[in-house]
Structure 1
């Protein structure tokens, strides 16, 4: 019994020594706080006020007119007078836009080409003339009568805003636009057959 008691005492001493050794190996930081102290510090940290940024205040800018989301967002008089044309009626449609100037000989030469193509266009596609680079509406009317293109709708872009909306700066320009907004810009010298081919292309999409 005495040997058993002494062995137990020796094992107990070794266990205590091991705990002491583990404390030293774990470092002072691991055991420097009791669980109660650690909880107290965590609670104190959680209760510290958190600074939130003040909302940034900006001075409201003066309201301005929204930018048009489409080049078709325009109204203008028709060349032959008496009506106001709303460009929005052409948006989301297949259309051929003919940009001409009343003093332009190339535009005069283009008129028969467009008249020929107009007779062979797929159903639902029309040609709309956009007269520009002149503030003289009567001069534009003379052009329409001289070229025999009265069957087309012609818009009088007297201030140039419609042309700028389509990024057109020179006459004798044709833009073929499909109903999704994709466009093909054609220059002088376009034939009626080419125009019909483009019209068939946009009608099929």
Structure 2
């Protein structure tokens, strides 16, 4: 019963921290995002399993999760292993997120096959998330429907319009806001060049 009373309070507190559209500055980090999820997640080099895609890349603990896309398709994050990954956390009603959409889509297109780009939608219902993808023209890469905030919690994201960039081993190399997506291409180029 105690968990039922704590969940609404926790969600309310999280929503209070999300009232602004990405006003925080970014940071670089050598630690893995989502390290609070499990103690072993602090060492992304520790494999969880083979990714099953035939590439032979080991899956860091941070990518050991599954979700559903805004289109209702299953998504296994293990398939991201072995390549740099951009996780873009956004909300459908956020003007800052809309301002990042074009640059994020351009980076995804320019780096297809070399870098994974995944949108992680939250803070609204799936129908609004699908509309955002259609309205912003960002349907060329997958977007997760994270209505319950599980992926946001995994990566300790507390505000929308937030990027988490992982290197090919799953280490977080950047997390923060990039207004208009400015600087995203340079950060990705540093991982592929």
Q: Same fold (TM over 0.5)?
A: yes
Cα distance in 1 for residues equivalent to 2:75 and 2:109: 23
Aligned Cα root-mean-square deviation (Å)? 2.1
Q: Aligned-pair distance for 1:123?
A: 4.4
Bigger proportion of residues as helix: 1
Q: Aligned-pair distance for 1:92?
A: 3.5
Bigger proportion of residues as strand: 2
Where relative contact order (Cα < 8 A, 6+ residues apart) is larger, the structure is: 2
- CA 1:123–1:197 in structure 2 vs 1: closer, same or farther (change >3 Å)? farther
* Aligned equivalent of 1:100, options 62, 66, 90: 90
* Match of residue 68 from structure 2: 77
* Match of residue 146 from structure 1: 135
Task: Tell whether the 8 Å contact from 2:66 to 2:76 is kept in structure 1 after alignment.
Answer: yes
* Match of residue 48 from structure 1: none
* Match of residue 123 from structure 2: 133
Structure 2 counterpart SS, 1:171:
coil
Taking structure 1 as the reference length, what is the TM-score of the superposition?
0.60
Stretches of structure 1 lacking an aligned partner (at least 5 in a row): 1-65
Cα distance in 2 for residues equivalent to 1:123 and 1:89: 12
Task: Tell whether the 8 Å contact from 1:71 to 1:162 is kept in structure 2 after alignment.
Answer: no
Q: Please identify the structure whose Cα radius of gyration is greater.
A: 1
Task: Tell whether the 8 Å contact from 1:122 to 1:203 is kept in structure 2 after alignment.
Answer: no
* Match of residue 116 from structure 1: 106
Taking structure 2 as the reference length, what is the TM-score of the superposition?
0.64
Stretches of structure 2 lacking an aligned partner (at least 5 in a row): 1-36, 42-60
